[in-house]
Amino acid sequence: MIGGWEDIRAEVLRRISTQEWPAGVLIPTEEALAQEFGCARATVSRALRELAQAGVVERRRKAGTRVAVLPVRRATLEIPVIRQEVQARGQAHGFQLLRAERLAPPVPVASRLGLAAQDPLWYLETLHLADGQPFVFETRWLNPAILPAVMPDFTALSVNEWLVKNVSYASGDIAFSAAAATAREAEVLGVAAGAALFITERSTWRAEAAITFVRLAHAPGYRVQTVV
Going residue by residue through the chain, which has 228 residues, state the pLDDT in tens, using 9 for 90 and above.
Answer: 566 788 888 889 888 878 899 989 999 999 999 999 999 898 899 889 888 887 889 988 878 999 988 655 555 556 889 999 999 899 999 999 999 999 999 999 998 888 887 889 999 999 999 999 999 999 999 999 999 999 999 999 999 999 998 988 877 889 999 999 999 999 999 999 999 999 999 999 887 789 999 999 999 988 876 655
Q: What is the DSSP string of 63-112?
A: TEEEE-SS-----------HHHHHHHTT--EEEEEEEEEEEPPPHHHHHH
The CATH number of the domain holding residue 151 is: 3.40.1410.10
Model-level pTM?
0.68
Tell me the backbone φ, ψ of residue 147, rounded to 5 degrees.
-90, 155
Q: How far apart are CA 46 and CA 222, in angstroms?
A: 32
Residue at 62 is within a domain: yes
Residue 132 CB partners (closer than 8 Å, separation 6+): 92, 94
Judge whether 31 lies within some domain.
yes
In a domain, 108, yes or no: yes
The pLDDT value recorded for residue 138 is: 98
Give which of 215, 226, 227 is closest to 136, Cα–Cα. Answer: 215
Q: Within 13 Å, how many C-alpha atoms sit on residue 15's CB side?
A: 16
Is 224 inside any structural domain?
Answer: no
* 8-state DSSP, 146: G
Phi, psi of 141 (to 5 degrees): -105, 125
Q: Are 43 and 107 contained in the same domain? A: no
| 213 lies in the same domain as 162 | yes
Largest Cα–Cα separation, the chain:
59
> Does residue 197 share a domain with residue 148?
yes
- Structural domains counted in the chain: 2
CATH of the domain at 51: 1.10.10.10
Structural domain containing residue 51:
5-67
Same domain, 99 and 197: yes
Q: Does the residue 226 lie in any domain?
A: no
Sign (positive or negative) of CA dihedral 90, 202, 46, 65: negative
Whether 73 is covered by a domain: the verdict is no
